[in-house]
Structure 1
Amino acid sequence: MSLFLLGLAGGLGAISRFLVDAFVARHNRLRLPIGTIVVNVSGALLLGILTGWATHAAPGLPAELRLVLGTGFCGGYTTFSTAAVEAMRLGLSGSPDRAVLYAVVTAGGAAAAAFAGLWAGSLLA
């Protein structure tokens, strides 16, 4: 049963990623792929909240549920590979400064969001 739920959660995460990215792309006026940044930063925040909550407020949360929500949904939602390809495209298109900015904002924003999520999740105790 956990493989089915893991796959289902991953699929729901991927669909959510597509919808969020498409929404942001329709409203993006910058020359950066902001949708992927939004997805990865919000996914890191969500995973941080889940981890902080499971660690501090719900240490008895079943491992299967943590796996389904964390690895399944958050793993299906976030996308490091797309971020890497988009950074390379920016660099190869003659915009190395934008490629570096994009990579730094993506990685730094995701790390900061993960730490903020851990902190927020721990407050749910």
Structure 2
Amino acid sequence: MWKNPMFRTIVAIALGAIAGALSRYYVCLGVSQIFSSEMPLGTTIVNISGCLAMGFLTTLFLGKIISIDPDFRLLLLTGFLGSYTTFSTYELDSAKLLHQGSLEPELFYWMGSVVFGLLSLQLGIFVAKWLLNRWQGDRSI
């Protein structure tokens, strides 16, 4: 079973994701208990620290500065950091586009992610409320 590369990939990403999600939760919880703020300071700290870690680790691992097992790299970068914060992946993708030298795709990706992400969030809220209202209306009949 461990000799199967697909199985190792799944396990590596899953284990990293568990650790990343728990880390995100406890960092946000800890920050909210220490600082009282209307701003989502915990999420901000997670996003910034995730970007720092993504930049640092991808430079070391993908730049061949440090040789690391591909499964462990998946555990750290895709599993842990992907679960800890998707913002770090977003910023890494933005940097890749920027380094390709074409500003137009970078701006479209950057603005499109923000604008369409916010619009999609609002649409999700609208649809959920609409469905709840329909369901509650049907229940009362």
Question: How far has the Cα of 1:50 moved from its partner?
Answer: 0.5
Q: Which amino acid aligns with 1:72?
A: G
Q: Which amino acid aligns with 2:11?
A: F
Scaled by the length of structure 2, what TM-score is found?
Answer: 0.52
Structure 1 residues 72-91: aligned runs within 5 Å:
72-80=79-87
Q: CA RMSD in A?
A: 2.4
Distance 1:3 1:56 in 2: 24
Question: How far has the Cα of 1:56 moved from its partner?
Answer: 4.6
Structure 1 residues 69-108: aligned runs within 5 Å:
69-80=76-87
Structure 1 residues 41-56: aligned runs within 5 Å:
41-54=48-61, 55-56=63-64
Q: Which amino acid aligns with 1:57?
A: I
Scaled by the length of structure 1, what TM-score is found?
Answer: 0.58
| Higher Rg of the two aligned structures | 2
Q: Where does the alignment leave 5 or more consecutive residues of structure 2 unmatched? A: 1-7, 88-116, 123-141
What is aligned with 1:14? 21
Ranked by relative contact order (alpha carbons within 8 Å, sequence separation 6 or more), the top structure is 1
Deviations 1:17-55 (A, max 9, x none): 000000001122322010000001101111111011111
1:31 aligns with 2:38: yes
What secondary structure does 1:10 align onto?
Answer: helix
Identity, in percent, stands at 35
Question: How far has the Cα of 1:64 moved from its partner?
Answer: 2.4
Q: Say how many residue pairs are matched.
A: 84
Q: Which amino acid aligns with 1:76?
A: S
Q: Which amino acid aligns with 1:42?
A: S
Asked whether the 8 Å contact 1:10–1:74 carries over to 2, the reply is yes
